[in-house]
Amino acid sequence: MTTAPNAAPEGAAFERRASLVADLRFVLLAALALAAFPFVLHPIGGYAGLATQILITSIAAVAFNLLLGYAGMLSYGQAMFYGGGGYVAAILLLRAMPQHPNLWLAVLGATLVTAIMALLVGAVTVRLYGIYFALLTLAFAQMVFFIVEQAKDWTNGDDGLQSIPNALLPIGPWNVDLTVGLPPVDLGPFGNLGDIKLWYILAAIALIAVLLFTRLLIRSQFGEVLTAIRENEERSVMVGFSAPLYRLAAFGIAGALTGLAGALRACYDGTVAVESLSIERSGQFVVYTVVGGVQTLVSPVVGTALIMYLENVLSGKTPAWRLIEGIIFVAVIVFLPRGVLGTLLNQREKNPRSIFRRALRPRTEEPEPLLRPNVEGRRAGPLSIIETSKLGKLFGHFAANHDIDFQVDPAELRAVIGPNGAGKTTFFNLLAGTIAPTSGTINYKGRDVSRVSGTERVHLGIAKAFQTASLYPDQTVRQNCRLAALARVQGPFALQVLRRSTRLDDVDALAERAMDRLELAAVADVRAGDLSHGDKKRLDIAIALATQPQILLLDEPVAGMSKDEARKTEGLIRRLSTEMTVLVIEHDMEMVMGISDTITVLHQGTVLATGTPAEIRANATVQEAYLGGHTEEEFAGA
């Protein structure tokens, strides 16, 4: 079977057209919904001004959903960007251009300042996780609140900034006054068209633009990686992605969009209060997003509309409106954990699998690797591919490894064995860079990599498969391999917020090659979490293989497998060793003796012996340490 030469370009062009049509349809539907929104709000006690405020605040809620839903970062400090954007815009209008207030300059200036502020705060906070990240962002927000409150010459302290000039919107030769209403037309129970100010149109355009940008971002190469890091950061780091940089970029983008919302709100209200920087405001963004639904693009808009309607309409009708709001929030958490809209929408919006879904181009032969490892012949020269000297690792006062001298030649298949607790996995973690050594050095191809991060080591050519398979369980087998291949193709970080990785042919080639090597093509479109134990272990190896390593570290690759699965995996590992250096930890002695060129025995954290399988089998010291003094025949038959 052959593939027509123009099939690939035609497939890519069709994919681009389909994506463009989907985006245009989204914009059209969003525009229609926002056009109808103020008129739907009017019969239930809402008003045009409230509709405008909801749209502006929704921009901040969408930004928060990017953090919480797609990056997995719960920030309690978003008010510092929202209020900060409002104050910067107000100060620019009051002090820099009081006679000729320009909305473009005020809003863009505020967005830029908050973006820089978010990057500075994020540089400190994004390396923390969970409650520590949330508390640190809260601490920064409190500091910003204090600074603004005390800088009375600039911010007017507790009274906030009042009487902000009505900023005009320059469009070509015109300066548009956004406080002007549309022509009055009585719409009966739906209000009057004249109640809609031009501000509402600008807010609607801004919200649609932010929604479209976010939609493109979460489907982009950047969004794919961000989602993968949220799902399994350890695996993402060990295929070569820089998780801190991706988290920082997401934090910066969310901060800029939140600042944009704050600037628009200050210009619309004509005032900015110090409460816009408060803890309560940060908490409101959490409520808006959770009530609407996380990991769903438009759900934060629904949550914002619902809660702001309750606050502004019910507060004037009943003193129990806070109780009602609290009951709704509790009910959503208990009965609708995906949020109001998130529960109703198709879960395609929710995440990962739809991101990668595509019709792969048919192949007639196995794809060549993008970067073929530089494999020298077995023991072809004096330079070891990896070597350690006096390597040690302390956990408190416990020496998990100490004084390990270890050398492996290029293209060698080396087994590392030893009793439980001998320090084998710790040693592999030191080689892979997931932990730093306490003492000693690690040299890879003549370079000292002792302090090089695990992410950097992956790109140098050291990859690891985990003792317990580390996968992206909600993604398919193909998507798991594609993520590793994407890291190889693009490097540790790429701010590709518009391009999809599905347009990168090299990524597909590497992923297909990795699946073929581990015989996973038959389950390529199966969700990784649904695989058998053996297939999960092989997928973990395939993910490592897709990074195109020169050294492959396998930590108990056949643990928990049936005998047939173990022998199948053994054959796959043997074939892989013809392409690269393989280091394997394993307790299956039949496998170790059958496939290894050399065996290193660890005992009590250091090297006990190194030699060929025959030498290790006959070593009395190894028998004593490893099998408690069993005979050579017992050891051979273990």
Q: What is the mean pLDDT of residues 200-218?
A: 96
Angle value at C-alpha 521, between 517 and 524, nearest 5 degrees: 125
Q: What is the mean pLDDT of residues 357-377?
A: 40
Q: Give CA–CA dist 232/466, Å, rounded.
A: 13
Is residue 590 in a domain? no
Domain final residue pick, 278, 302, 324: 278
CB 64 within 8 A of CB 288: yes
Name the one residue in this structure whose structure tokens are 């409190």.
142
Q: Give CA–CA dist 416/419, Å, rounded.
A: 11
State the average pLDDT for the chain.
Answer: 87
Give the pLDDT band of residue 622 (cuts 50, 70, 90). Answer: confident
Give the pLDDT band of residue 154 (cuts 50, 70, 90). Answer: very high
Is residue 316 in a domain? no
Is residue 437 in a domain? no
**Strands 606-611, 598-603: pairing kind:** antiparallel
Structure tokens at 442: 């690690």
**What pLDDT score does 106 carry?**
95
Residue 505 has pLDDT above 50, yes or no: yes
Is residue 26 in a domain? no
Is residue 397 in a domain? no
Residue 606 bridge partners (DSSP): 603
Q: What is the mean pLDDT of residues 426-441?
A: 95
Domain final residue pick, 228, 247, 278: 278
**What pLDDT score does 628 carry?**
59
Domain final residue pick, 497, 523, 548: 548
Is residue 499 in a domain? yes
| Residues in contact with 556: Cβ distance below 8 Å, sequence separation at least 6, in sequence order | 467, 585, 586, 587
Is residue 302 in a domain? no
Give the pLDDT band of residue 273 (cuts 50, 70, 90). Answer: very high
Domain that holds residue 100: 41-278
Is residue 536 in a domain? yes
What SS3 state is found at 464?
strand
Name the one residue in this structure whose structure tokens are 């995996």.
569
Residue 236 has pLDDT above 90, yes or no: yes
Count of domains for the chain: 2
Contacts 24+ apart (CB under 8 A), 523-526: 523/477, 524/476, 524/477, 524/478, 525/476, 525/477, 525/478, 526/476, 526/477
**What pLDDT score does 174 carry?**
87
Task: Tell me the whole-structure pTM to 2 decimals.
Answer: 0.87
